[in-house]
Amino acid sequence: MSLIEVRDLSVRYGGNTVLSHVDMSIDRGEIVTIVGPNGSGKSTLLRALIGAVPIAAGRLTRASGLSIGYVPQKLAIDPTLPMTVARFMSLPRRQAPADVEAALEQAGVPDLSNRQMTNLSGGQFQRVMLARALLSSPDLLLLDEATQGLDQPGSAAFYRQIEEVRARLGCAVLMVSHELHVVMSASDRVICLNGHVCCQGTPEIVASAPEYRALFGSGTQGALALYRHDHNHSHDDGCAHDHGHPQGTESGVVPLHQATRGKVH
């Protein structure tokens, strides 16, 4: 059974329909990435999943007792609110100090517990947010452009950590990202969103879908180049669209995140 599933989901803000007829689901242990242009409803979809925006139509089903770790796109802590890193980690539920230390160390930011949240750098802040989200051992980790403000090595390390976390906790990861090259290498599945689901499937399927190319064509030469040599993969899993290029043989299917691991790291 899926951890979370939406069927025919529509979300409206004021008079505008932000999302319409979205179908998607996430299973345990999957890393799924949502890509799409600005204003395509990526963050809204994530916020709908946590129940922060009302659903206009459709159905949202969560596995019972589902625990969610959420890292929002941006978080501004008011300067009038004093908050040490350690205290922030214990929100909303108290955590043992040893667990907090361990989580911070795993996130690559040890010795920060006594610092004020408002004094952290952008990268430290994101890592603390991730560490906090992981403390509750979530079944599902939601990351909304979590690498915003990180430099390239920083964001590469961040995604490496996400993969480690998945391996260690067995949790599913759903993330929104603009960094297409990283997305393509780190995800099991990609959902291409533009108010509705344009296409979804394994990274190689989505990358070769005409809908995806129409949205990202010129900007993703680097990412697309990775596939052009490799058309011998199956096209019949999960993506209902016609991809407009010939079917290859079934042999030699290589998930991209394995194929490109050496390049990314």
Partner 1 sequence: MLDDFLFRATLAGLGVALAAAPMGCFVVWRRMAYFGDATAHASILGVAIALALSISVFLGALVMALLMALAVTGLSGRGYAVDTLLGVLAHSALAFGLVAVSFLSGVRIDLMAYLFGDILAVGRTDLAVIWGGAAVVLALLAWRWSALLTATINPDLAHASGIDPRREQLALTLALAVVVAVAIKVVGVLLIAALLIIPAAAARPFARTPEGMAAIAVVVAALSVLSGLQVSLMYDTPTGPSIVCVAALFFAASALGTSLRRRLV
DSSP state letter for 71: E
Grouping H, G, I as helix, E, B as strand and the rest as coil, residue 144 is strand
- Using CB under 8 A, pick the residue from 5, 22, 31, 47 that binds partner 1: 47
Q: Interacting stretch for partner 1, rule CB under 8 A, among 82-90, 182-190, 205-213, 240-248?
A: 82-90
Least Å distance between CB 99 and partner 1? Answer: 16
Q: What are 198's two structure tokens?
A: 């344009």
Q: Are 89 and 128 in contact (CB under 8 A)?
A: yes
**Maximal CA-CA distance, the chain:** 62
Please report, as residue ranges, which positions from 105 to 134 form the binding site for partner 1 (by CB under 8 A).
114, 116
Site for partner 1 in 219-248 (CB under 8 A): none
**Rule CB under 8 A: is residue 91 a binding residue for partner 1?**
yes
Buried b (16+ CB within 10 A) or exposed e, 237-265: eebebebeeeeeeeeeeeebbeebeeeee
Q: Name residue 25's amino acid.
A: S
- Cα separation, 79 vs 117, in Å, equals 9
CA distance 159 to 93: 26
Q: Which stretch binds partner 1 (CB under 8 A): 18-26, 65-73, 208-216, 247-255?
A: 65-73
Asked if residue 169 binds partner 1 (CB under 8 A), the reply is no
Q: How far is CA 131 from CA 68, 102, 134, 141, 165, in A?
A: 13, 9, 5, 11, 10
Dihedral sign (CA 49, 162, 176, 192): negative
The distance of closest approach from Cβ of residue 109 to partner 1 in the complex, given in angstroms and rounded to an integer, is 18
Task: In whole angstroms, give the CA distance from residue 120 to residue 85.
Answer: 9
Contact call for residue 87 and partner 1 (CB under 8 A):
yes
If binding is defined by CB under 8 A, does position 153 make contact with partner 1? no
Instruction: Indicate the residue among 93 and 229 with the shorter CB distance to partner 1.
Output: 93
Q: Does 60 bind partner 1 (CB under 8 A)?
A: no
Task: Verify binding: residue 93, partner 1, rule CB under 8 A.
Answer: yes
CB of 17 to partner 1, least distance (A): 20
Tell me how far apart the alpha carbons of residues 217 and 163 are, in angstroms, rounded to a whole number: 27
| Minimum distance, C-beta of residue 87 to partner 1, in the bound complex (Å) | 5
Give min distance, CB of 94 to partner 1, in A: 8
**Residue ranges binding partner 1 (CB under 8 A):** 47, 50-52, 68-70, 72, 75, 77-78, 80-84, 87-88, 91-94, 114, 116, 136, 142
